């Protein structure tokens, strides 16, 4: 294989990975905003961020970013010398995602002032939101460039504690739900974040991601890169 051709193709695939990663973040942030606007429940992380934003006045996306920054610090503590400089790109990805969430929740005219008056509209918005968010996350997975720190920290902590990832994740999610409920009841917040949608999210989100991953893999977005590696 000609070196110059290989180098050019490698750079093109790198740029493609960055593009699909950012596109996935953009789409998943839009989906998250729809979940929040549906007022029928959210993921455990966004629910905590939303409730903290009501108490503190800080925008939800900013708090989502803070949570992920803390998780990145946790990765550094657990990995120590094994933490690679490349992983610091998680800082940029986290900032971009938080900014996108804030844009859709507070600035984008179609969603910032969205108020849903009846339950069927709320349910439809929730279902569309969870599907869009899952598709965005699947795009980030397919890009395989860099991920938000929260998931990486959970996996590292499970390995460090010698616990199954599923059990640890359930424990972390349960803790976040408890914290959100404490905030709701002690601060007299409207309970729009921990509801029936939260349970549906827990049951359906992983399934939807796997479905979209299977469809995206069939499209073979990075097929050219795989052919180069095998040549």
Q: Phi and psi of 164, rounded to 5°?
A: -60, 140
With beta carbons less than 8 A apart as the criterion, state whether 39 and 76 touch: no
pLDDT score of 45 more than 70: yes
With beta carbons less than 8 A apart as the criterion, state whether 172 and 48 touch: no
Give the tokens for residue 148.
């938000």
pLDDT, position 223 = 56
Residue entry with tokens 């800080």:
58
pLDDT, position 12 = 60
Summarize pLDDT for 157-166 with one digit per residue, the tens.
998 999 888 7
| CA–CA dist 34, 46 (Å, integer) | 12
Per domain, the residue ranges of the chain are 12-112+119-230
pLDDT score of 147 more than 90: no
Q: What is residue 116's three-state secondary structure? A: coil
pLDDT score of 49 more than 70: yes
pLDDT score of 71 more than 50: yes
| CA–CA dist 123, 125 (Å, integer) | 5
With beta carbons less than 8 A apart as the criterion, state whether 155 and 168 touch: no
Summarize pLDDT for 77-132 with one digit per residue, the tens.
999 899 888 889 999 999 999 999 999 999 998 899 988 889 999 999 999 999 99
């Amino acid at each position: 294989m000609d070196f110059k051709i290989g180098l050019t193709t490698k750079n093109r695939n790198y740029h493609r990975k960055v593009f699909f990663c950012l596109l996935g973040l953009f789409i998943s942030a839009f989906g998250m905003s729809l979940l929040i606007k549906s007022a029928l429940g959210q993921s455990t992380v966004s629910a905590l961020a939303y409730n903290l934003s009501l108490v503190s006045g800080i925008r939800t996306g900013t708090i989502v970013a803070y949570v992920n920054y803390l998780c990145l610090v946790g990765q550094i503590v657990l990995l120590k010398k094994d933490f690679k400089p490349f992983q610091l790109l998680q800082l940029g990805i986290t900032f971009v995602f938080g900014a996108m969430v804030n844009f859709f929740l507070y600035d984008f005219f179609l969603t910032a002032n969205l108020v849903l008056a009846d339950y069927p509209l709320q349910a439809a918005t929730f279902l569309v939101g969870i599907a869009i968010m899952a598709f965005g996350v699947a795009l980030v997975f397919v890009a395989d460039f860099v991920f938000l720190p929260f998931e990486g920290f959970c996996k590292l902590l499970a390995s460090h504690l010698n616990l199954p990832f599923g059990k640890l994740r359930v424990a972390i999610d349960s803790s976040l739900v408890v914290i959100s409920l404490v905030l709701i009841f002690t601060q007299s917040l409207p309970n729009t974040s921990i509801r029936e949608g939260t349970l549906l999210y827990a049951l359906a989100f992983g399934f939807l991601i796997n479905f979209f991953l299977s469809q995206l893999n069939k499209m073979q977005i990075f097929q050219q890169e795989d052919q180069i590696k095998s040549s």
